Amino acid sequence: MELEQAQSRAKELRAIIERNNRLYYMENAPELEDFEYDALTRELKAIEAEYPQLVTPDSPTQHVNEAASSKFSKVAHAVKMESLQDAFSFDELREFDARVREAGVRPQYVVEEKIDGLSVSLEYENGRLVRGSTRGDGRVGEDVTENLAAIRAIPQTLPAGAPEFLEVRGEVYMPHKAFLALKAEQELQEKTPFKNPRNAAAGSLRQKDARITAARGLSIFVFNLQQVRGRSFSRHSETLDFIKSMGFPVSPRYRVFDSIEEALQEIEAIGQKRGALEYDIDGAVIKVDDLAARETLGSTNKFPRWAIAYKYPPEVKQTVLREVEVSVGRTGVLTPTAVFDPVFLAGTSVSRASLHNEDIIRGMDLRIGDTIRVRKAGDIIPEVIGVAAHAENAQPYRMPETCPSCGAPVVHLQEEAALRCVNPECPAQSLRNLIHFASRNAMAIDGLGEAVAVQLTERGLVHTVADLYTLTMEQLLQLDKFKEKSAQNLLEAIERSKENNLDKLVFGLGIRNIGDKAAAQLAEHFGTMEALAHAGEEEIAAIDGIGAVMAQSVTEFFAKEGTRDLLRRLREAGVNEQWRGEKKGTALAGLTLVVTGTLPHLSRQQAEALITHNGGKASGSVSKKTAYVVAGEAAGSKLTKAQALGVPVIDEAGLYALVGEQPPV
């Protein structure tokens, strides 16, 4: 490649890589799979190695890619959180071993699974968690202490004998079971699901509301001792044993080996079993065990010279596409699913994969009978990645022009990739609406899961959610596996749902683009279903956090004749249509407060509720705009930042004084 060509290609590669870095680290929505990203990075490294004059200080090969988000306060890491050099063949690992030995080190190696998650630091003083942060660019990360404290696997306090100060590094991850549950919930609400468990973990940890983080089922494996006072160690394996004794979940599989060949055998063994793991790994890590030898080897400006990560190649198999099934979602979106001859991928047999929308199918020129290439994204979600060979005389697949459920014409709305059935009486939409209406975050009708919902709709007992409130014991006893007790329990759950607050009903109606939080904002702001139904777009859009798109969805929903009839029937059935929350006070109107530490009587959530009920805004981070920081015991970095910025600090009693209430005795 000539210099001019190399310069052009390097510029192109940097732009692609930096774009994916932003999507991957900041938006948790990558466009490239890991192996595709790695291939582009290796190509850029090769060009820069051949033409060193093309290396730029801001090249993604010269720095850790993740940047700290502006949503959280910054944390400067006392010990740099380095990334690892990647290897894609055993020969590269042998070359790593040769470099270690050339430096005069006769190593023993620790081999560990490389957990695919979000790297974090945890700091403890006198046995108490005082700060948690993300890696960021390795030198500066994000303060996510409260979110990390919401993860059950992370200890808040350490056992007796803990050192005066301890900092450990770990990887926050989302187990497969939690990821599949979250994905199913997102798909039910027709939100764009996270692409893989790693992005789901990152997105869940970077929530402004720690309650969301707590509900996502995250966990952690700790894999490194960053700093410690009052203790000394000579080997990495000793530090892992010590960390484990302090109550941390440590790297699940770590062993010490005397040679690189033994280490390679362990990497092969990990690779053979990775499909059966309950969490994602994207490789295995080899580390020099001797800590003094690590000091001798040192680091480059980006990687330690005493460790290297082996990346397993993606498993791709070929199979034959037999059919494309099209399902209809809650809001009428048509979703195509590829049905193919079963193949064994990442530990399980796979025969189906979502094709998402018509654009994906057209882009691959997919035809029934084609030999297709299939893999598991993140080793968990099956996906079709391309066509290996077209079937003879086959025609490109076309999405149906009519709804497969009701036969009504489908439409391609502007600025949407998906086709949509707009028939409000479509049976498939009725089923998904019913499942959503009964779900936990909506009307929470125990006993009305998908299997029961299917029976209710297929037997013609329920056409809209209002029909639930006319069901009888005799009708329910027609359902499979229903006895008097289960029928009575379901009837009682339906009756209890009438007493739910208005926000649950608003969310349960399944208004497009309106999640549970937005539903609560609308219910609290308007107070009644009638007021919300008659509100204009401008009034709705003016609510903080709602906006024009959501406002349009709300007004379009309530303008439908079917909606008006549905609300009338729900009202006649006795379903509550009033907001029953306390009316907001104004004592803290226009003020932003931050709660940190442990308060004497209030949990953090209770303190934040007190703030919002009095017109204030409860924030998770301290800035110059913060009016007060409410600090309790072990307040940590937020208190320190408040003092540095000159933000007034008050205690729980001070908070009660601001809102004009007496604190608990």
Question: Which domains can be identified in the chain, with CATH numbers?
Answer: 3-54 (1.10.287.610), 74-310 (3.30.470.30), 316-396 (2.40.50.140), 427-573 (1.10.150.20), 592-659 (3.40.50.10190)
Mean of pLDDT over the chain: 87
Asked if residue 2 has pLDDT above 50, the reply is yes
Q: Which active-site residues does the annotation give?
A: 114
Q: Residue 584: what pLDDT?
A: 66
Task: Please tell me the distance from the alpha carbon of residue 236 to that of residue 78, in angstroms, as a whole number.
Answer: 19
Asked if residue 517 has pLDDT above 70, the reply is yes
Q: Residue 379: what pLDDT?
A: 61
Q: Residue 601: what pLDDT?
A: 85
- Tens of pLDDT, residue by residue over 585-642, are 788 988 999 998 888 888 877 888 788 778 888 887 888 889 999 998 878 778 888 8
**Sign of torsion over alpha carbons 273, 277, 282, 288:** negative
Q: Using an 8 Å Cβ cutoff, are 133 and 144 in contact?
A: yes
Asked if residue 69 has pLDDT above 50, the reply is no
Asked if residue 18 has pLDDT above 90, the reply is no
- Tens of pLDDT, residue by residue over 431-453, are 888 999 999 889 999 999 888 99
Count of other CB atoms within 10 angstroms of residue 201: 31
The average pLDDT across 192-207 equals 84
Is 50 buried (19+), middle (13-18) or exposed (0-12) by CB count in 10 A?
exposed
Asked if residue 31 has pLDDT above 70, the reply is no
Q: What is the DSSP string of 385-436?
A: EEEEEPPTTPPBP---SB-TTT-PBEE--TT-SS-EE--TT-HHHHHHHHHH
Of 35, 48, 41, 51, nearest in space to 18 by CA: 41
Asked if residue 281 has pLDDT above 60, the reply is yes
Asked if residue 156 has pLDDT above 80, the reply is yes
Asked if residue 122 has pLDDT above 80, the reply is yes
For residue 120, give the DSSP letter: E
The average pLDDT across 306-322 equals 90
Task: Please tell me the distance from the alpha carbon of residue 504 to that of residue 486, in angstroms, as a whole number.
Answer: 24
Percent of the chain residues past pLDDT 90, beyond the cut: 49
Question: Residue 338: helix, strand or coil by DSSP?
Answer: strand
CA distances to 44, 269, 337 from 49, rounded to whole Å, are 9, 33, 44
φ, ψ (nearest 5 deg) of residue 333: -70, 130
Sheet with 371-377, strands from edge to edge, namely 348-354, 334-345, 316-328, 371-377, 381-389
- Tens of pLDDT, residue by residue over 499-516, are 999 999 999 998 988 888
- Tens of pLDDT, residue by residue over 458-471, are 888 998 899 999 99
Asked if residue 53 has pLDDT above 80, the reply is no
Task: Please tell me the distance from the alpha carbon of residue 356 to that of residue 333, in angstroms, as a whole number.
Answer: 10
Q: Residue 420: what pLDDT?
A: 85
φ, ψ (nearest 5 deg) of residue 510: 70, 35
Alpha helices by DSSP H, 246-366 = 260-273, 291-297, 358-364
Q: Residue 22: what pLDDT?
A: 65
Q: pLDDT confidence of 199, banded at 50, 70, 90?
A: confident
Task: Please tell me the distance from the alpha carbon of residue 259 to that of residue 152, in angstroms, as a whole number.
Answer: 37
The average pLDDT across 561-589 equals 86
- Tens of pLDDT, residue by residue over 538-558, are 999 888 778 888 999 999 999
Task: Please tell me the distance from the alpha carbon of residue 222 to that of residue 169, in angstroms, as a whole number.
Answer: 6
The shares of helix, strand and coil residues in the chain, as percent rounded to the nearest 5, are 40, 20, 40
Asked if residue 65 has pLDDT above 60, the reply is no
The average pLDDT across 291-304 equals 91
Alpha helices by DSSP H, 498-588 = 502-508, 516-526, 529-533, 537-541, 548-559, 561-573
Q: pLDDT confidence of 68, banded at 50, 70, 90?
A: very low
Percent of the chain residues past pLDDT 70, beyond the cut: 93
Through-space distance between the first and last CA atoms of the chain, rounded to whole angstroms: 78
The average pLDDT across 578-588 equals 78
